[in-house]
Amino acid sequence: PWRTDAQGHLKSDDNGDPKTDYTRWRLVNEEGRQTWRYLESDTENSAWLQTVAEKYHMGLPTGLPILPEAKSPLQSAENGLSFFSKLQLEPGNWACEYGGPMFLLPGILITYYVTNTPIPRKIKRYLFARQNPEDGGWGLHIEAHSSCFGTSMNYVALRLVGAHEDDPRMIKARGLLHKFGGAIYGPHWAKFWLSVLGVMDWEGVNPVPPEIWLLPDWVPFAPWRWWIHMRQVFLPMSYIWSKKWSFPLNDFTRQLRQELYPQPYESINFAQHRNSIHPADNYYPKTWLLNGINELLVRVWNPFLRVKAITKRAEDWTWELIRMEDENTDYAGLGPVNNPMNMVACYIHDGPDSYSVRRHRERLNDYMWLKGEGMLANGTNGVQVWDTTFVTQAVVVAGLADDPKWRPMLTKALEFIEDHQLRENVPDQEKCYRQHRKGAWPFSTKTQGYTVSDCTAEGLRSTIQLQEMYDFPKLISLDRLKDSVDCLLLMQNPTGGFTEYETTRASAKVEWLNAAEVFGGIMIGYDYPECTTASVTALSLFSKFYPDYRAAEIKAAKDKAVTYIKRVQRTDGSWYGSWGICFTYAAMFALESLASIGETFETSENSRRGCEFLLSKQKEDGGWGESYLSSEKHVYVQHEKSQVCQTAWACLALLEAQYPHKEPLEKAMKLLMSRQQANGEWLQESIEGVFNQSCMISYPNYKFYWPIRALGLYAKKFGNEPLQ
């Protein structure tokens, strides 16, 4: 239950809990829906045994055995798989933490607080664990420099979970926040959330007019054309902004108002601070165009021209779209930013006790993840489909799929993949601007249910590999595979490239309206080398087994896609990766797709340049290591240390491209093997993934299946000689 008294004073909370307390937690997995549950009762706790996976994810000793030492790459791959196979969950998928961004949990906590929702345990522990030790702040993501966004939001988050204002760590954080100039120097999203909580004035928030949703569809910058995450966040945000809804002031929020700013709250002229932003936060400054529009909206439209009847229509229409998003996802939502905002909108519209609020309350749990450092918010409701498809592919590519030992594991994985293919379009697809989804695979689960092009490609590929190449039960019929091909073909842009969720719906000029300040490239769906190449590779495989189905169209789509891939290759031979760090990640997908149409190191100039780029980045110790700063700066930045995951990506790129010389690869294999632990596992290194160019996100399972895949493929191509 919520730990405040009637005045909103926080009672002391449970976060001083000892580590042994972790023995009371269980991960419940209902058809891929993953939630952590704390067992209050001793009898239940002793009757319901903890699994290896649960122990592993919480950082408890797993008790998994020491394995015979791997002498050869294939043995190393098998040891890795022995360990990793123990983490498979009952429905057939693998789970993981999906943290990294430091702005998700605070939004969820503010939502919990303003809707009177009980707050899960162990969050305080996580937030303190992630505080930057030097300056006491937090950044945009776990490896970033401290910023006003990170520090103000996580300071508030900690206060909401009961951290005391006089705690030395809080004093340090507050000192930094005041050095930044106080919470008024945060970006738009911070100002929005703080206004919802009632510790900032709505005057300080640049306008988010729901009226924009009334623009006719043909308008080139109408919101239905924006990048899906932006428009789905903008949607509830505009509804709440229009209502200027704030949590009613209580003693606690009154007190917070005094902590967040260096000057007394009452003396602040919030309207003057709409555009205040600290340089540490200003990754992507607003354009003069957007600043001009904001001035007009604030000075002319809002006071003089805003018409009540039109506002009402706009609120009704945004509410309708919010409702459709909630119903289409059973209140799980597209992601962890729009979903809590939708919950606040439901709270305003439907009231505190409504079904919508109660269902959201349950569903927010799907985003929470427990690890040794405490409880955090994941970037999606999981990585279920994505990870599971890559595990099966790793086993296949490594040459281990016909070993009976792995058959039960792979069968379960295939069952999971089958269960989560999307079978029908959403009702009223056009009305709520959704992309076709029949036949697609999502990133996480069918409940979330959003088509993703490369997830569809990987799902298709895994299925064909298991069902056609290794004779696994045909759980997914040919018709359903054709559905997924149809879906992929619908996702290609006229440029030849593929976006992740939808085809591109507007010109890149809409980027001039980017109001987020902290993210780049967010206003429209762009072409991505990774999504495009994954689609080519999957379509190539499909046509190999079913050469007659839509042959001409598939060929045309592939040709166009390959032209795009070659066009966006840089002169140095690299590709910029948008979803993994960074050039190394994109090279793997790109070189594999070129190989899938027969273009390799020996036969293709593009492939050769791609390989040479990678080779020029190999480190002394044989590994590859790329810093997250590559994604931010758009140039290759070496990490100070080589990384298991990037080493595997680079090797897979070279191996798929049929790079003929063994030496650099052999050196890399030795590095992968030297980092493996005696029980077969690899340890967590630096963060692996990225979005919006500036925000990093963890893919903890990458350190398992990419090395397994690379080690096995190496053994296939260069032989499984002992390496040491």
Instruction: State in angstroms the smallest separation of the CB of 443 from ligand LAN.
Output: 5
The single residue listed with the structure tokens 């593929």 is: 498
Which strand (E) or helix (H) includes residue 35? strand 33-38
Q: Which of 201, 281, 366, 454 is catalytic?
A: 454
Which residues are registered as beta bridge partners of 94? 88
> Which of 195, 283, 175 minimizes the C-alpha distance to 242?
195
Q: Does 233 bind ligand LAN (CB under 6 A)?
A: yes
290-298, 419-427, 448-456, 540-548 -> range binding ligand LAN (CB under 6 A): 448-456
Residue 77 vs 341, nearer CB to ligand LAN: 341
SS3 state at 406: helix
Which residues are registered as beta bridge partners of 371? 374
Q: Does 626 bind ligand LAN (CB under 6 A)?
A: no
Which of residues 126, 283, 579, 649 is near ligand LAN by CB under 6 A?
579
Q: How many CB atoms lie within 10 A of CB 329?
A: 21
Q: Give the whole-angstrom CA distance, residue 414 versus residue 407.
A: 10
Residue 22 vs 519, nearer CB to ligand LAN: 519
**Alpha carbon distances (Å) from 195 to 126, 155, 211, 232:** 25, 15, 20, 20
Q: Give the whole-angstrom CA distance, residue 253 versus residue 166.
A: 16
Q: Give the whole-angstrom CA distance, residue 493 versus residue 560.
A: 10
Q: Does 380 bind ligand LAN (CB under 6 A)?
A: yes
Which strand (E) or helix (H) includes residue 584? helix 583-596
Instruction: State in angstroms the smallest separation of the CB of 493 from ligand LAN.
Output: 15
Q: Does 377 bind ligand LAN (CB under 6 A)?
A: no
Strands 624-626 and 33-38: unpaired
Residue 113 vs 386, nearer CB to ligand LAN: 386
Q: Does 446 bind ligand LAN (CB under 6 A)?
A: no
Residue 153 vs 673, nearer CB to ligand LAN: 153
Q: Does 675 bind ligand LAN (CB under 6 A)?
A: no
Q: How many CB atoms lie within 10 A of CB 353?
A: 8
Which of residues 454, 632, 681, 688 is near ligand LAN by CB under 6 A?
454
End-to-end CA distance of the chain: 56
Q: Does 335 bind ligand LAN (CB under 6 A)?
A: yes
Q: Which stretches does DSSP call E strand in 635-692?
A: 638-643, 689-691
Residue 34 vs 380, nearer CB to ligand LAN: 380
Q: Does 593 bind ligand LAN (CB under 6 A)?
A: no
454 is catalytic: yes
Q: Does 697 bind ligand LAN (CB under 6 A)?
A: yes
Q: Does 704 bind ligand LAN (CB under 6 A)?
A: no
Instruction: State in angstroms the smallest separation of the CB of 104 from ligand LAN.
Output: 7
Instruction: State in angstroms the smallest separation of the CB of 449 from ligand LAN.
Output: 13
Residue 343 · residue 360 · CB < 8 Å: yes
SS3 state at 12: coil
> Which one-letter amino acid corresponds to residue 494?
P
> How many positions of this chain bind ligand LAN (CB under 6 A)?
19
Residue 157 vs 268, nearer CB to ligand LAN: 157
Q: Give the whole-angstrom CA distance, residue 490 versus residue 366.
A: 30
Which of residues 341, 452, 524, 715 is near ligand LAN by CB under 6 A?
452
Q: Does 337 bind ligand LAN (CB under 6 A)?
A: yes
Residue 92 vs 99, nearer CB to ligand LAN: 99
Binding residues for ligand LAN (CB under 6 A): 229, 233, 335, 337, 379-380, 386, 443, 452, 454-455, 500, 519, 530-531, 579, 691-692, 697
Residues involved in catalysis: 454
